[in-house]
C-alpha cells in the first residue's frame, strides 16, 4: 500500500529551520520561522505563563476530558480578548483548537461542509500553509492582489478590484493584523472599504489573527477583526495563542463563528462535530494557562506588560534596521521597514538574492524574502544591512 505514497513538497519555512540548524558557521542570523526571540536569541517562557503553570500544578486535580468544544471559560476569555463587545454573544459560537493552524483547518472544513463549491480568496502572498491546506482539502483558491512590489505597502486598488469579483458563497481570507508574510497592513478607512465590498458582494470573511499584540497593541490589533465581525452577517475568525502567549508547542487556538441568522445550536453543533471528527477533544494545557492569565487581574497586567515590551522591542529593531540601511545605502528606500507591523517584513527581493545572502553572510530568511524582525539584535543589524546592500537590493 505505502508504495503508492508520493513524496510531498517540503514546507519552505520548516526546511529553512533545518538548514539553519545544520549550518556550522558561528556568525549566522536566523530570520526564518515566526517565533519571537529576545536579544540573545532565546524564546522565553513569559512570566505570567510560568506563574500560571505553577498555579495549575498546585490546583489541578484531574486530567479527565473537558468539553468537546474546549473549556467554556477559555472560549469566553478568548472571545472577549479578540472580539471585545463587537458582536452579541448569542451570535458567537466557538471551538478550542490545536493552535491557530488547527483553527484555520477547521474553518476551511466548515466552509467546505457548508458550500462544497466555495472559492476562497487569498491575499497574494499569504501564509503558505493557507494555500497548502486549501489544496489538500481540494478547495478552490482565488488570489487577490495585496503586496505592492514597488512601495512594499498594500496595493489597495488592486486588492479592491479583485475582491469585487467575489460572489455570495465565496470566502475572503484576511489577516486581522500583522500580515504574514509581508508586514504590510490596511489602514482603518481601508478596512471600512473592505467591509463595504463584503456586504456588496455577499462574500463571507474569514479572519486569521495569529499576532494580536505584536503590531500596535492588543486592542488596536483587534480593531479590524472587530469591525469586520460587527459589520457583516457572518464571519469566521481563527485566533492563535502561540505568539502572544509564547506557548507555541502547547498548540492553543480557537475558531470563532459569528452568525446572526443561524440557530446557535446548529452553529455550535457543527463546530463541535468537526472537533470530534478530527481529534476529538482539543488540547487543554495551554488553554488553561491562558484562561488563568486572562481571568486574573494581576497576571493579566503582567502578561500585557511583557507582551508590550516584546512589541516595542520589535518596533525598535525595525527602526534601527531602517536607519542602518539608510546610512549604509545612502538612500531612504528602506523606510517601509519601519512602517510595517508585526513580526515580519517582506524585503521584496528575489529568491536568488535571498540565497546569496544565506551563502555569503549566513543570513537565513524565507525564499520570498520574508524576515523575522525578532531574530535581529544590535549586533546583527549592521551585518544584515551590509548583506542587503551588498546583494544590491
Contact set with ligand LMR (CB under 6 A): 13, 33-34, 127, 129, 180
Of all residues in this chain, which one has the CB nearest to ligand LMR in the complex?
34
Residue closer to ligand LMR, measured from CB, 127 or 245: 127
Q: Which is nearer to ligand LMR, 70 or 100 (CB)?
A: 100
User: Closest separation between CB of residue 102 and ligand LMR, Å?
Assistant: 12
**Catalytic site residue from 71, 210, 222, 267:** 210
Nearer to ligand LMR, 102 or 282 (CB): 102
List, in sequence order, the alpha helices (H) in 141-249.
156-163, 188-201, 218-231
Shortest Å distance, C-beta 98 to ligand LMR: 12
Look-up of cell digits 529576545:
38
- Give how far Cα 21 sits from Cα of 9, 17, 40, 201, 273, Å: 20, 6, 16, 47, 40
Cα separation, 377 vs 226, in Å, equals 34
Virtual CA dihedral for 213, 148, 10, 249, nearest 10 degrees?
0
**Least distance (Å) between residue 186 CB and ligand LMR:** 19
Q: Which of 37, 103, 127, 385 is catalytic?
A: 127
CA-derived radius of gyration, the chain: 21
User: Closest separation between CB of residue 129 and ligand LMR, Å?
Assistant: 6
Q: Which is nearer to ligand LMR, 13 or 320 (CB)?
A: 13
Angle at 376 between CA 369 and CA 252, to 5 degrees: 80
Which residue among 208, 221, 284, 368 is the active-site one? Answer: 208
**CB-nearer residue toward ligand LMR: 70 or 342:** 342
Structural element, H or E, at residue 32: none
127 assigned to active site: yes
Measured from the CB atom, the residue of 51 and 106 that comes closer to ligand LMR is 106
Query: Does 243 qualify as catalytic in the annotation?
Result: yes
Q: Closest distance between ligand LMR and the C-beta of residue 344, in Å?
A: 8
**Which residue in the list 30, 184, 203, 243 is annotated as catalytic?**
243
Q: Which is nearer to ligand LMR, 166 or 373 (CB)?
A: 373
Q: How far is the CB of 34 from ligand LMR (least distance, A)?
A: 3
Phi and psi at 120, nearest 5°, equal -110, 115
Task: Say whether 208 is catalytic.
Answer: yes
Q: What one-character DSSP code corresponds to residue 362?
A: -
The Cα 52–Cα 327 span in angstroms is: 45
Q: Within 10 Å of residue 356's Cβ, how many Cβ atoms?
A: 17
Q: Please state the closest distance from residue 366 (CB atom) to ligand LMR, in A.
A: 8
DSSP conformational letter for 9: P
Is residue 247 within 8 A of residue 241, CB to CB? The reply is yes
DSSP strand E in the chain: where? Answer: 29-30, 92-97, 119-124, 140-145, 171-175, 204-209, 234-240, 253-259, 344-346, 363-364, 370-372
User: By C-alpha distance, which of 269, 238, 243, 267 is closest to 254?
Assistant: 238
Distances (CA, A) of 381 to 30, 77, 143, 199, 356: 12, 38, 34, 44, 17
Give catalytic residue positions: 127, 208, 210, 243
Amino acid at each position: 500500500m505505502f508504495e503508492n505514497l508520493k513524496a510531498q513538497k517540503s514546507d519552505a519555512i520548516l526546511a529553512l529551520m533545518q538548514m539553519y540548524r545544520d549550518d556550522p558557521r558561528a556568525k549566522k542570523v536566523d530570520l526564518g520561522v515566526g517565533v519571537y526571540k529576545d536579544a540573545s536569541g532565546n524564546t522565553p517562557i513569559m512570566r505570567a505563563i510560568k506563574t500560571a503553570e505553577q498555579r495549575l500544578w498546585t490546583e489541578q486535580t484531574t486530567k479527565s476530558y473537558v468539553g468537546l468544544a474546549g473549556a467554556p471559560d477559555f472560549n469566553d476569555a478568548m472571545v472577549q480578548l479578540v472580539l471585545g463587545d463587537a458582536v452579541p454573544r448569542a451570535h458567537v459560537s466557538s471551538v478550542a483548537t490545536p493552535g491557530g493552524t488547527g483553527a484555520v483547518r477547521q474553518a476551511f472544513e466548515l466552509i467546505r461542509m457548508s458550500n462544497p463549491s466555495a472559492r476562497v480568496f487569498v491575499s497574494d502572498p499569504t501564509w503558505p500553509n493557507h494555500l497548502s491546506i486549501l489544496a489538500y482539502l481540494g478547495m478552490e483558491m482565488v488570489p487577490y492582489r495585496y503586496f505592492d512590489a514597488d512601495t512594499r505597502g498594500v496595493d489597495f486598488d488592486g486588492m479592491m478590484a479583485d475582491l469585487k469579483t467575489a460572489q455570495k458563497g465565496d470566502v475572503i481570507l484576511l489577516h486581522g493584523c500583522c500580515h504574514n508574510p509581508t508586514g504590510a497592513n490596511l489602514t482603518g478607512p481601508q478596512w471600512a472599504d473592505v467591509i463595504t465590498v463584503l456586504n456588496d458582494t455577499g462574500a463571507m470573511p474569514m479572519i486569521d489573527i495569529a499576532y494580536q499584540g505584536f503590531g500596535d497593541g492588543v486592542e488596536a490589533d483587534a480593531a479590524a477583526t472587530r469591525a469586520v465581525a460587527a459589520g457583516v452577517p457572518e464571519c469566521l475568525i481563527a485566533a492563535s495563542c502561540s505568539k502572544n502567549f509564547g506557548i507555541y508547542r502547547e498548540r492553543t487556538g480557537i475558531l470563532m463563528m459569528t452568525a446572526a441568522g443561524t440557530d446557535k445550536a446548529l452553529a455550535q453543533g457543527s463546530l463541535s462535530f468537526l472537533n470530534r471528527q478530527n481529534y476529538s477533544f482539543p488540547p487543554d494545557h495551554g488553554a488553561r494557562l491562558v484562561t488563568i492569565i486572562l481571568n486574573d487581574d494581576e497576571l493579566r497586567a503582567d502578561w500585557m506588560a511583557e507582551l508590550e515590551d516584546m512589541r516595542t522591542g520589535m518596533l525598535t529593531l525595525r527602526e534601527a534596521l531602517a536607519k542602518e540601511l539608510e546610512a549604509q545605502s545612502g538612500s531612504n528606500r528602506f523606510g517601509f521597514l519601519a512602517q510595517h507591523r508585526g513580526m515580519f517584513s517582506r524585503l521584496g527581493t528575489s529568491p536568488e538574492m535571498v540565497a546569496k545572502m544565506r551563502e555569503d553572510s549566513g543570513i537565513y530568511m524565507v525564499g520570498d524574502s520574508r524576515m523575522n524582525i525578532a531574530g535581529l539584535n544590535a549586533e546583527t543589524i549592521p551585518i544584515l544591512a551590509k548583506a542587503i546592500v551588498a546583494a544590491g537590493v
